[in-house]
Amino acid sequence: MKKLFASILLVLLSFIGNAQILDPVSWKTSVEKKSDTEFVLVLDATIEHEWHMFSQFTPDEASLPTVIQYKNAKGNYTLVGKTKESPYKKVYSDIFEVDEYLFENKAQFRQTIKITNPKVTSAKVYIEYQVCKEACIQQDKTFDIKLPISSIEESKAEKSVVKDTLVKDTSEVIAVPLITDENRPVGLKSEEINQKLYGLNVSDVKQIQSTSDTKENEVITEKSSLWKIFGLGFIGGLLALLTPCVFPMIPLTVSFFTKSSGSSKSGGIGKALLYGAFILAVYLLLSVPFHLLDSVNPDILNEISTNVWLNIFFFVIFIFFAFSFFGYYELTLPSSWMNKTTQGENIGGVLGIFFMALTLALVSFSCTGPILGSLLAGSLTADGGAWQLTAGMAGFGFALGLPFALFAMFPNMMNSLPKSGGWLNTTKVILGFLELALAFKFLSNADLVKHWGILKIEPFLILWIIIFTGLALYLLGKIKFPHDSPIQKLSTFRIIFGVVTALFVGYLTSGFRVNEETKTFTPLSLLSGLAPPVGYSIFYPNDCPNNLNCFKDLKSGLAYAKEKNKPVLIDFSGYACVNCRKMEEHVWSKPEIDKILRNDVVLISLYVDDKKQLSEEEQLEVIKSDGGTRILENYGHKWAHFQTEFFKSNSQPFYVLFNPKTSEVLNTPVAYMPEASEYKTWLENGIKNFK
């Protein structure tokens, strides 16, 4: 039930834009015939009360103008003159300090066309516009306007018959039955279960007491990790500021606060500071449900993150987000939500300011939603948790609220802000390419956990090379998307960023270099935790990291270590564990570490997210660390229980140096340790204690 609740919550956060959408402009199209070859296309807009949209000719340094494109004009018809529009209203903008041209209640656009292809049946018209009230919404429509040409010949479509070919599945499926109340072993005590599963009892293992220095280092590492995630969330918030849904709201909102307070400058600053604080609070509240889940069951976020179908769901969602950023459709929240928050703004005082912050969060969802989805999904990793999600949300909300408070205190700084324009859409498209690339990380997670073998390192790198080649071509003006304005001249930013992206494509291709020592592809530092392990390969397959010798079973590994008289390195890992891949590819690959792992220890890698089902005799009911019970159904359950039962830890990576003969833990177990020198010292100290 708890898993179901978490999954439903994730679905709501990701798919919330599929309900009724806010659409304050309704359209009607018609055609006026001037001659047999000339027609007038007419677009009539009805605008809801208190809303307004902008003319095609409103100044560039003001709000976004209406843009109309005739998609199928080439080869079919020519435009006679420019698109005409009904009279607009000229209103001076205190924010942009220019006259803006806008329509209220209704607007009309007329374009005369001359037919050049007698077989054309319709005119495809695309219109993009900004409609505003307290907030602004970027919208677009495509109309397929039928042309009343009597001489049109209907084209005939050839029918093709596709024969279905039936392929017989000859693969053998072996079903392992789950334990039920009828066949579950009863009366087994924890000691008997542990002996049966692991060949050990908790009382047999001689633990090392953690020193105060070790505990202090663990706290520092955890805090450092949270600050890093806060920083990533902050960067995400800054990116959200540079989107068309948020950027135009900065001067509008700041001007409202500074002018609504009259001569009291401090009052306006106080309201703006409160507004920024409430923006931060709104995003922090989104992480609260995950703390409730984490307190009920410490393993639940790990189980959610490694759930195969949830990772596939995230893959589909990220593809959906990417094409939204590309401009093929918009994500908006239910209009009833925004109407209620807008009504709340009229309350006034502190509560009114809170509803203004909530309205901004809802209205900007089409741009912030995909970024928040990335933050949410990224935090739900095997080495993540609710506090990491809170840290990320805090960074995001802080970055989003900071400009409103900052510009209220120093209003002259707004003069240095760039004007709204096509660069805002360019930012969205760049984010779309990044969302598309990240989507395959989640498909890779599912593939690794289920061992499907469909997204090994080679196809993953090829897909990323294609995606970032597309981004480079877009930045250099070779590819266009629906909302892109015509490029008169490439900006310096686009040229520089395009060249950097092209260099990154070259970096990705270097991942196909073969390391002759490990007989694997060369790990790419920037892709640690994003790409599959280099050993998960079509051409250079290897079941163990860096082509090391390792065991995936505890009992057989311990028996081998006893025979060879070597200490054991127990590696609690996960197929979808980001920091595990970083350790394997950037610490274990160091020559001095690799030498120790190959010669001085026996490596036992236990994957806590392995979904391979256990045999019937091992599907036992065990007591969890919180006093509850669970049925061990797969190997991931088995190894996760071993880690929590014997070592009181449930995070990965987690490393234990162990004496197989005396069952003694040789030194204090450690978690993620990115400094190779520190990890080497830890290994050497444990091996010294074994000798």
Q: What is the CATH number of the domain that holds 560?
A: 3.40.30.10
- Are 138 and 223 in the same domain? no
Residues 421 and 556 in one domain: no
H/E stretch holding 252 reads helix 249-260
Residue 482, in any domain of the structure:
no
Q: Which of 432, 455, 478 is the last residue of a domain?
A: 455
Domain carrying residue 384: 215-455
Which H or E run contains 67? strand 67-70
Which H or E run contains 98?
strand 98-104
For residue 520, the surrounding DSSP H or E stretch is strand 520-521
Please answer whether residues 455 and 443 qualify as being in contact, where contact means their C-beta atoms are separated by less than 8 angstroms. yes
427 and 573 share one domain: no
Do residues 521 and 541 make contact, with C-beta atoms less than 8 angstroms apart? no
Question: Residue 498 corresponds to which tokens in the numbers above?
Answer: 């395009």
Please tell me whether residues 103 and 235 are part of one structural domain.
Answer: no
**Euclidean distance between CA atoms 625 and 187, whole angstroms:** 19
573's tokens: 């890992």
Place of tokens 């694997």: 520
What is the total count of domains within the chain?
A: 3
Nearest alpha carbon to residue 10 among 395, 376, 383, 391: 376
- Among 78, 74, 67, smallest CA distance to 112 is for 78
Determine if the peptide bond prior to 523 is cis (ω within 30°).
no
Residue 243 within a domain: yes
Residue 143 phi/psi, 5-degree rounding, is -115, 135
Residues 226 and 116 in one domain: no
- Domain-located, residue 181: no
Which own/partner contact pairs does 161-167 have at CB distance under 8 Å and 24+ positions apart? none
Residues 142 and 221 reside in one and the same domain: no
Residues 135 and 219 in one domain: no
**141, 249: one domain:** no
Question: Same domain for 238 and 370?
Answer: yes
Give dist(CA 380, CA 389) in Å, integer: 8
Residue with tokens 């969205």: 428
One domain for residues 321 and 443: yes
d(CA 41, CA 29): 8
Structure tokens at 327: 């401009």
Asked whether residue 188 is domain-assigned, the answer is no
Start-to-end C-alpha separation, the chain: 50
| Same domain, yes or no: 356 and 224 | yes
Q: How far is C-alpha 608 from the geometric centre of its chain's CA atoms?
A: 23
- Residue 57 belongs to a domain: yes
Where do we find the tokens 């390195």?
Answer: 569
Hey, which residues does 102 pair with through a beta bridge?
A: 54, 89
- Asked whether residue 307 is assigned to any structural domain, the reply reads yes
Quick check: helix, strand or coil at residue 164? coil
Provide the residue type at 342 as one letter.
T
The rounded mean pLDDT for the chain is 77
Element (H, E) at 90: strand 89-93
Determine contact, residues 555/199, Cβ cutoff 8 Å.
yes
Residue finishing a domain among 401, 435, 455: 455
Instruction: For 577-611, give one letter per residue: b (16+ CB within 10 A) or e.
Output: bbbbbbbbbebbbeeebbebbeebbbbbbbbbbbb
Q: Is residue 38 part of a domain?
A: yes
| Angstrom distances, CA of residue 159 to CA of 127, 163, 222, 480 | 35, 13, 64, 34
pLDDT at 374: 60
Amino acid at 489: K
Q: Which positions of the chain have pLDDT values less than 70? A: 1-23, 60-63, 93-98, 133-140, 149-188, 208-225, 244-245, 247-249, 251-268, 290-306, 331-349, 359-386, 408, 411-421, 529, 576, 578, 624-628
In sequence order, which residues have a C-beta less than 8 Å from that of residue 188 and are 6 or more positions away? 196, 620
Please report whether residue 497 resides in a domain. Answer: no
Q: Are residues 289 and 409 in the same domain?
A: yes
User: Where does a domain end: 146, 177, 198?
Assistant: 146
Nearest to 534 by CA among 599, 477, 588: 588
